[in-house]
Chain A
Amino acid sequence: MKRRTFTSLTAGLGLAASLFGTSALAQDNMRIALVVKALGIGFFEAAAEGAQEAAEELGGVEVIYTGPTDTTAEGQIEVINALIAQNVDAIAVSANDTDALVPALKRAMQRGITVISWDSGVADEGRQMHLNPSSNALIGNMIIKLAADQLPDGGDVAVLSATTTSTNQNIWIEEMNKVMGDYPGINVVSTVYGDDLADKSYREAQGLMQSYPDLDAIIAPTSVGIVAAAQAVADAGKIGEVNVTGLGLPSEMAGAIESGASKSFAIWNPIDLGYSATMIAHALASGAATAEPGAEISIGRVGTITLDDTNAAAMADPFVYDASNIEQFKSIF
């Protein structure tokens, strides 16, 4: 009995607080908080830009871009608690820690706040769904497609990976090998490992060019490797003969695109990621979609996602960067 009065009291207080909160602001604006790992990181600033774009497209949505000043879970918990107090409609978080945020996020969900994670996920019980930037299968396909697109008549390509044991790269290469049948004429002649060290990757790239004089492309699905390989190709005077591609960051690859050592490369697009996270948060918070395995959620111009058994989904193919858009992105991340 006593307990019930207490809950009804808190409920009443909560209601009063929310009425108070909403009356202070524009009446029907849905407020979506984009919580990032830390403020001042180019990647997340770009994501916020995408979120803003989604808000304008949806209309009646206010995006609150926030996060701690350093990448700590404690800082994010404080931010989330503050957002719960403000009674926002949805929280979309890129987490600094998989487990540490769960209690705070659970509390948010109990208050009826929609909680999703994107980019860097939280444990299943701490969110309604998680948005991955891409999937292993999409990445595996993309890296070979980037090489094949420049080789209409087929050719020899080699893979320069990180260490022999790095999980990500091994899965991507495995996925790449699965779809090799879709790219007739493209032969993967060798896979070498640069251990994510600039000097070893450089040497391995040099070795590839010596061992396979007819090599047409080097695929490096690692940001250290792709930069080192591009430098090795430039130093060997093989720009135009050997195309370096794979996964890299625009800020690090701008020089290689400029010199022509790399024609194109890919990585997830932070703008699209922020855009999609906002779209999903809006769909869930407005009740237009429910987060359950198998559910399909539309994410505007980026397409549609399908949730898997753990309520996670992959956004899209990695975004391709080349001479046409590198200028725009190199200062972002």
Chain B
Amino acid sequence: MLKRFITSREALLVGAIAVLLVLISFRFPAFVTPGNLASVFNDTSPLILLAIGQMIVILTKCIDLSVAANLALTGMVVSMVNVAAPGLPIVVILMIAIGLGTVLGMFNGILVWKLRIPPIVVTLGTMTIFRGLVFLISGGKWVNSHEMSPAFKAYPRAELLGLPVLSWIAIIAVIVFSVVMTRTTLGRAFYAAGGNPHAATYAGINVGKTQFWAFTISGALAGLAGYLWVSRFAVAYVDIAGGFELDVVAACVIGGVSIMGGIGTVAGALLGALFLGIIKNALPVVDISPFWQLAISGGAIIIAVALNAQANRTKGRIILKQAEQAT
């Protein structure tokens, strides 16, 4: 068990993150204090949520490019709801956010499942549609900090056992989805549908329907992240989280999720997101020219993926143990 962990992708990533932290601590020691690491985790929480959803979608040989636009639309809707009805309890806001996100995800899922449109095309389209809708409902206007109710803004910041609620939500999502992915029929169906769709069909798994559920989960998580995002940054406008879908896909790929489907774990997505989150948070403090920052983040992604590809290389499956020993 231990040996299996040491040689796994996750262990490699943990090692890479440790090396990264050591390198950063040479340039800026205060970065690795527990307090700061907690705030880095908190900052990375939305990315973790989206990466878990994206991982499930990628497992089924699909991709969801609409997550950031979904986040922006849900975020705008809940902030406008909040402005219109400041007294609404946060539970209701959360339900609206998750509900709307789910519906948007289902829309993607239906198009992929029933109309059999390639997922990249579907989500590229819905990405633009969702962004357009944000513009349509807001008229291009911002929802600003002073228009949001204090409770709306306070929720993700509220501290519980030393950590903000935002962090706890990410932690809970990681635990819940670890269980779902390893211990439930649906979770295993995701792996089967992506790992070998034909075999999955013969095993009685409806691949299209499984993909539909993957998009639904991804949408729900994006909706939840939408509320958390606008309340954390206390502003909602058309372009929030612009380009964030690429970070989400990158986090998955770094985390060892195979773009070909069928391979990936929640822990991998979590570590991939943390790796990116650490880089994003460290770059401002390590005093590197901003002109280099983009190149450095890109380089880190490629190195991580290259390492992963090496570790992933299948060594050939041993079919006959005896034959192996005989040679």
Q: Which of A175-203 contact B (CB under 8 A)?
A: 191-193, 197-200, 202-203
Assuming the A-B contacts A197-B242, A199-B241, A211-B285, are A251 and B43 also in contact, with contact meaning beta carbons closer than 8 angstroms in the complex? Answer: no
**A203→B284 contact, CB < 8 A:** yes
In the assembled complex, the Cα of A210 lies from the Cα of B31 at a distance in Å of 9
Chain B residues with CB under 8 A of A193: 290
The B-contacting residues of A in range 211-244, CB under 8 angstroms, are: 211, 227-228, 230-231, 235
CA A227 – CA B280 in complex, angstroms?
20
User: Shortest beta-carbon distance, B149 to chain A, in Å?
Assistant: 12
Interface flags, B7-43, vs A, CB<8A=1, else 0: 0000000000000000000001011000010010001
- The A235-278 residues at the B interface (CB cut-off 8 A) are 235, 251-252, 254-256, 258
**B285: A residues at CB distance < 8 A:** 207, 210-211
Q: Among A197, A204, A258, point to the contact of B284 (Cβ < 8 A).
A: A204
A203 to B42, CA, bound (A): 12
A311 interfacial by beta-carbon distance below 8 Å = no
- Is B202 located at the chain interface by the 8 A CB criterion? no
Which of A211, A235, A330 meets B157, CB within 8 Å?
A235
Residues of B close to A231: CB separation below 8 A: 145, 233-235
A255 and B280 contact, CB distance less than 8 A: no
Which residues in B have their C-beta under 8 angstroms from that of A206? 39, 281, 284
Q: Contacts A164-B291, A193-B290: A203 and B280 contacting too (C-beta < 8 A)?
A: yes
- CA–CA, A191 and B287, complex, Å: 10
Q: Looking at the complex, which one of A197, A211, A228, A255 makes contact with B146 (CB distance below 8 Å)?
A: A255
A208 within 8 A of B: yes
B146 touches A210 (CB 8 A): no
Query: Which residues of the other chain, A, contact B39 by a CB distance below 8 angstroms?
Result: 206
B128 on the A face (CB < 8 A): no
Q: Once the chains bind, are A251 and B142 in contact (CB under 8 Å)?
A: yes
What bracket does the count of chain A residues touching chain B fall in?
20 to 34
In angstroms, Cα B43 to Cα A210, docked, is 15
Return A259 CB to nearest CB of chain B, in Å: 8
The interface residues of chain A lying within 8 Å CB-to-CB of B182 are none
Asked if A258 meets B242 with Cβ closer than 8 Å, knowing A164-B291, A198-B233, A231-B233, the reply is no
Select one of A192, A199, A210, A258 contacting B290, CB under 8 A. A192
Chain A interface, DSSP helix/strand/loop, else mixed: helix
Q: List, in ascending order, chain A residues with CB within 8 A of B240's CB.
A: 198
By a CB distance below 8 angstroms, the chain B residues around A203 are 43, 280-281, 284
A252 touches B281 (CB 8 A): no
Q: Which of B133-161 contact A (CB under 8 A)?
A: 142, 144-146, 157
Q: How far is the CA of A254 from the CA of B145 in the complex (A)?
A: 8
Output the least CB separation between B90 and chain A (Å): 18
Compute how far the CA of A210 lies from the CA of B284 in the bound complex, rounded to whole angstroms: 9
- Are B281 and A207 in contact, with the CB atoms below 8 A? yes
Kindly supply a per-residue 1/0 record for chain B positions 200-237, scoring 1 wherever the CB is within 8 Å of any chain A CB and 0 otherwise: 00000000000000000000000000000100011101
Considering the complex, give the chain B residue whose CB is closest to the CB of A198.
B233
Given contacts A210-B285, A235-B157, A255-B146, contact A228 B290 (CB under 8 A): no
A83 to B30 Cα, complex, angstroms: 65
Nearest to A234 among chain B residues (CB) is: B234
- Minimal beta-carbon separation of A135 from chain B (angstroms): 27
A278 to chain B, nearest CB (A): 27
Q: Which residues of chain A have C-beta atoms less than 8 A from B287's C-beta?
A: 211
Q: Which of B36, B145, B239, B241 contacts A255 (CB 8 A)?
A: B145
Nearest CB of chain A from residue B21's CB, rounded to whole Å? 15
Whole-angstrom distance from the CB of B262 to the nearest CB of chain A? 32
Asked if residues A251 and B157 are in contact (CB atoms below 8 Å), the reply is no
Within A86-114, the residues touching B (CB, 8 Å) are: none
Q: Known contacts A210-B30, A210-B285; decide if A202 and B146 are in contact (CB<8 Å).
A: no
Closest beta carbon of chain A to B276's beta carbon, Å: 12
Report how far A211 CA is from B240 CA in the complex, Å: 26
For B36, what are the chain A residues with a Cβ–Cβ distance below 8 Å? 210
A258 to B145, CA, bound (A): 10
Chain B residues near A252: list those with CB within 8 A.
142, 144-145, 235
CA A199 to CA B285, docked complex, whole Å: 16
CB distance from A250 to the nearest CB of B (A): 10
The residue in A200, A210, A230, A258 that gathers the most chain B C-beta atoms within 10 A of its C-beta is A210
Q: A211-B285, A330-B146 are in contact. Are A164 and B290 (CB under 8 A)?
A: yes
Query: Which B residues are in CB contact (< 8 Å) with A228?
Result: 233, 235
Smallest Cβ-Cβ distance to A330: which chain B residue: B146
13 contacts between A and B (CB under 8 A): A191-B290, A193-B290, A197-B242, A199-B233, A199-B244, A204-B284, A210-B36, A210-B285, A211-B284, A211-B285, A227-B234, A251-B142, A330-B146
User: Given A235-B157, A255-B234, 18 other A-B contacts at CB below 8 A?
Assistant: A164-B291, A191-B290, A197-B243, A198-B235, A199-B233, A203-B280, A203-B281, A207-B281, A207-B285, A210-B36, A211-B28, A211-B284, A211-B285, A227-B145, A231-B145, A231-B234, A255-B146, A330-B146
Report the 9 A-B pairs with minimum CB-CB distance, sorted nearest first. A207-B284, A255-B145, A255-B146, A254-B146, A198-B233, A207-B285, A193-B290, A204-B284, A252-B144
